[in-house]
Amino acid sequence: MKIFITGGSGYLGHPLCMKLAAQGNSIHLMLRDPQSVFAPRHPNIRIFKGDINERSQVDKAIAGCSQVYHTAAAVKLWAEDPDEIFRTNVDGTANVLESARNEGVSRFVFTSTCGVIGPCIHEPMTESDPRIAGFSLDYELSKKMAEDLVFLYARNGLDALVVSPPKIYGPGKVAQKYNANAPISWFLKNRIAFIPSPGSYRTCFAFIDDVVNGHLLAMERGKTGEKYILGGVNISYYEFFDLIRKISHNRGYIIQLSKYKVMAWAILQKMNYAITGKDLLFTNKAINRFFSNYCFSSEKAVRELGYQITPVEEALKQTIHFLNQPIYA
């Protein structure tokens, strides 16, 4: 089967491409930089140079394909030009959807984020729960707008659906500062983790292998016009890093930061950006998100897709082993 994939050099897209190629599928992968060291290499992968913001380039790469996995996104907490995020995540998605419809693909799976669903108060959020707070990140708002486009196309004849992962961690060739591997790696190397105070704030962490498998299950079993949370364990920040400490035999420190200290840190980062141009790891807008509970239920995906969640202890053992390898360090 010929499959069109966007975002194949990303943390999620890379293993997705490799798994589908290993199954014997013919993969059409579009990358802005085909020579990237993160580009997946396999005899069944054909790389097209292009950008999802250019419809003609998408049309060329998608030709002959019957399935689409759209994982490409501008994953940023902040951009000096916010339009950059919306151009890629909204306009780019519109281009891929229109090309898919014109090509007559049989199914379209869009990768969104649980950030669209938003924070919870007590119980984990589900796909159908209304959002209880405004959007603190342009990235999350842009993905909500992209979801709306997917659902619009689904109502108008395209067999399309949405999958929503939370924070993802686990072995992977591609290093990204915004996935959960970054703070885990920092903790292993520097023996210190910074978490919001109190440490009881909870969030959802999903294992990369589960999320990749969830995409395949969504393509095979998902219902048109539906959304599926591909989650994992809902756990407090303190419990998560304490578990890492125990598994890795790391005597590191878990430091709980007050909201005021994080606000001061964000200001210092902004000043540093003005001088060095170095990307921000935290912004004032992201602070409220950091001091909130982001828990999600994967019950729908488990029930309808057969989605399976790797026990967090086993997932962390694999992750720690990978992150301790010199090739990653």
Active site residues: 139
In whole angstroms, what is the distance from residue 276 CA to residue 255 CA? 27
- Give the pLDDT confidence of 245-258 residue by residue, as tens digits: 999 998 899 999 99
- Give the pLDDT confidence of 257-266 residue by residue, as tens digits: 999 888 887 7
- The domains located in the chain, with CATH, are 2-169+205-234+295-310 (3.40.50.720)
**Beta carbons within 10 angstroms of residue 79's beta carbon:** 16
Average of per-residue pLDDT values in the chain: 93
pLDDT at residue 179 in the model: 82
pLDDT at residue 65 in the model: 98
pLDDT at residue 46 in the model: 98
- Give the pLDDT confidence of 213-257 residue by residue, as tens digits: 999 999 999 999 999 999 999 999 999 999 999 999 988 999 999
Please count the residues of the chain. 329
- Give the pLDDT confidence of 87-113 residue by residue, as tens digits: 999 999 999 999 999 999 999 999 999
Per-residue pLDDT at 298 exceeds 80? yes
pLDDT at residue 42 in the model: 97
- Give the pLDDT confidence of 181-207 residue by residue, as tens digits: 989 999 999 999 999 999 999 999 999
